[in-house]
Amino acid sequence: MAQSPTNYPSDAFGAVKRIDPLLCQIAGAVSEGGARRHLERLVGPRDPFNGYAGMEAAADSIAEALTGFGLHLVEERFRCEGRWYRNLVASHPGSLRNGQVLVVAHYDTVPNSPGADDNASGVAGLLEVAGALACHRFMHDLVFVAFPLEEYGNPGSLYFVEQAKACGVTIAGVFDLEMIGYTAATQTAPPGVKAPVAGDFIGVVGNRRSEGLVSLFKETATLVVPSLPVQALVVEGNGENRPLVRQSDHAPFWDAGYPAAMITDTAFLRNPHYHLPTDTLDTLNLSFLQQVTAATAASAALLAGLA
Q: Where are the domains of the chain?
A: 5-302
Per-residue pLDDT band for 12 (boundaries 50, 70, 90) equals: low
pLDDT at 70 > cutoff 50: yes
pLDDT at 99 > cutoff 90: no
Give the model confidence (pLDDT) of 29-62 as tens digits: 999 999 999 999 999 999 999 999 999 999 999 9
Cβ distance 214 to 232 under 8 Å? yes
The pLDDT of 82-101, averaged and rounded, is 94
Contacts of 8 (CB under 8 A, 6+ apart): 99, 140, 170, 172, 173, 303
Report the chain's mean pLDDT, rounded to a whole number: 93
Residue 153 has a CB neighbour count (10 Å cut-off) of 10
Q: How far is CA 229 from CA 22, 30, 246, 292, in A?
A: 23, 18, 22, 10
pLDDT at 18 > cutoff 80: no
Closest CA to 126 of 157, 89, 153, 151: 89
pLDDT value at position 102?
98
The pLDDT of 12-24, averaged and rounded, is 66
Give the model confidence (pLDDT) of 142-201 as tens digits: 999 999 999 999 999 999 999 999 999 999 999 999 999 999 999 999 888 888 999 999
Q: What is the CATH number of domain 5-302?
A: 3.40.630.10
Per-residue pLDDT band for 16 (boundaries 50, 70, 90) equals: low
Give the model confidence (pLDDT) of 255-307 as tens digits: 999 999 999 999 999 999 999 999 999 999 999 999 999 999 999 999 999 88
